Structure 1
Amino acid sequence: MMKNEKMGYLYRFRALLYKDICDLRWNGQVLFNLITGAILISLFALLPHGEIPISFVFAFVFGMLTLLMQGNLVVEEKEQGTIRRLKQAGFSLKEILFSKMMITFMTTVLILILFFVLYGNHMLFHLQLFILVLPIIMIMLVAGTFLGIKTKNTIEVSLYGSPIMIFYFFLEGLLMNSSREGMPWLAIFPNYHIHYGIDQIYNKEPFLCYLTVPVIWMAVGIVVFITWYKKQHFN
């Protein structure tokens, strides 16, 4: 019985993934963000190394692509009225949201792979970078999902998502123009640890200690979102 339930869940989830992947071909807003992100990443990767911090480059990916793409994918189901039809077909909202998160996560990873290929360096360097930024990706996925649920259309997703992006870039600007001792209060934000964690990787020094704060932010974000989600009694 339990095996049949698991098989049924996997079948439904695979069907949702297939639907979402097919829908991407006609999603102008998402395709625009994806193409823009790919172009910006390619340009940054081809600049001389050290010209612009990698953490600032990643801010474009996580803001313009991960955050907005996730929000748009979720809210467009509401705009088009397909969430109700999917529920009637037996899909739960949790399955729908998780499918969107998987699509956005895979797209973000593909853009990062493009950057890694163009940027060069060895495989271990790229793997360490991905591990370091993984908590930020998860934070943006959760934030994008929340935006998609709370907003009414893609315009509102961009409107309410912009302050998050602006604040992210503001912190990156402060990090680019200050020393590690200059603004110690920045250490409460995950950007600080991503920025200096990348320096550690460049210098081939231990970087895992710089994961602590981003992981705490990620865990708190996920717990808060799940708690809020359960209180809303979504099905």
Structure 2
Amino acid sequence: MMQKSGMQWKALVYKDVSDLRWNGQVIFNFCINLLFTITFLWAPNSDIPVSFILASIFVLVTMFMQGNIIVEEKEQRTTRRLIQVGFSLREIIYSKIFITFLATAFFLMIFFVIYGIHPLTSLKMFVLSFPLILMMIMIGVILGLKTRNTIEVTLYGSPIALLYLFIAGLLMNNERGEMSWLAFFPNYHLHYGIVQLQANETILPYLVVPYSWMVVCLLMFVLWFRKNT
């Protein structure tokens, strides 16, 4: 495979960024999540935990955005054109993963500023969040490659989103130790890792499970991705 120049990659990324302006589903999800974040963080007597807000970001901004910007190429029938000019399907996906990661990081930065979180605490929170961000990106890639349009992305992605938000809701409404089986899920460790951060305590014990999930999911995804691209 011919190695791409920096200008070619720049052109591909620029195309993907420009396409975001016209992707109504992505813009809608972005605006809804921004409204949700501002409303619940500034609402009087709001006791919505930070982890629940992050859950909505990872679902609406990360997972659905990734799926939508991939399937958009199918809807517009531009994948074949990009392949004809020398890009492989893998390279097209890599560009879109990069865009989604940057968009998620940008939204998190907005969130941290709105919430007034110290930069060092924000960095630690990002370290806690990274495994979930990467896993949501991988799910989004699978949705984008296996569906035919944005409606199907929403249809097949909704059960995953609801499961994630359901677990986040359980964590929000139960004390630590009441539902110990939730410790199997990575978002349990994100939730209580943030609690540790807010108490100025170490988060290291809460990194083991999420990063273990990330490694296993990444290995499985790489095997699947090689077979399907």
Q: TM-score range by the shorter chain?
A: over 0.9
Aligned mates of 2:178, 2:20 — CA distance in 1: 44
Q: Which residue of 2 aligns with 1:229?
A: 225
Structure 2 runs not aligned, ≥5 long: none
Indicate which of 147, 152, 167 corresponds to 1:156: 152
Task: Assess, with a 3 A threshold, how the Cα gap between structure 1 residues 98 and 32 changes in structure 2: closer, same or farther.
Answer: same
Structure 1 runs not aligned, ≥5 long: none
Q: Which residue of 2 aligns with 1:200?
A: 196
Aligned mates of 2:111, 2:38 — CA distance in 1: 6
Aligned mates of 1:39, 1:132 — CA distance in 2: 24
Aligned residue type for 1:24: L
Deviations 1:128-178 (A, max 9, x none): 111111111100000000100001110000000000010001111111122
Q: TM-score, normalised by structure 2?
A: 0.95
Over the matched positions of the two proteins, sequence identity in percent amounts to 50
Aligned mates of 1:48, 1:106 — CA distance in 2: 31
Q: Which residue of 2 aligns with 1:87?
A: 83
Q: Which residue of 2 aligns with 1:70?
A: 66
Aligned mates of 2:44, 2:212 — CA distance in 1: 33
Alignment of 1:25-64 (within 5 A): 25-47=21-43, 51-64=47-60
Answer yes or no: is the 8 Å Cα contact 2:41–2:48 preserved in 1. no
Answer yes or no: is the 8 Å Cα contact 1:45–1:115 preserved in 2. no
Shift of 1:44: 2.6
Misfit runs of 4+, over 4 Å: none
Indicate which of 127, 132, 139 corresponds to 2:135: 139
Deviations 1:102-145 (A, max 9, x none): 11111111111111111113211111111111111100000000
1:180 aligns with 2:176: yes
Q: Decide which moves more: 195-204 or 216-225.
A: 216-225
Aligned residue type for 1:62: F
Shift of 1:231: 2.3
Shift of 1:11: 2.8
Aligned mates of 2:156, 2:102 — CA distance in 1: 24
Q: Decide which moves more: 19-28 or 173-182.
A: 173-182
Aligned mates of 1:141, 1:174 — CA distance in 2: 24
1:118 aligns with 2:114: yes
Aligned mates of 2:25, 2:202 — CA distance in 1: 40
Task: Assess, with a 3 A threshold, how the Cα gap between structure 1 residues 49 and 104 changes in structure 2: closer, same or farther.
Answer: farther
Aligned residue type for 1:103: I
Deviations 1:7-44 (A, max 9, x none): x3433221110001111111111111111111112223
SS in 1 for 2:207: helix
Answer yes or no: is the 8 Å Cα contact 1:200–1:206 preserved in 2. yes
- Please tell me the root mean square deviation across aligned C-alpha atoms, in Å: 1.5
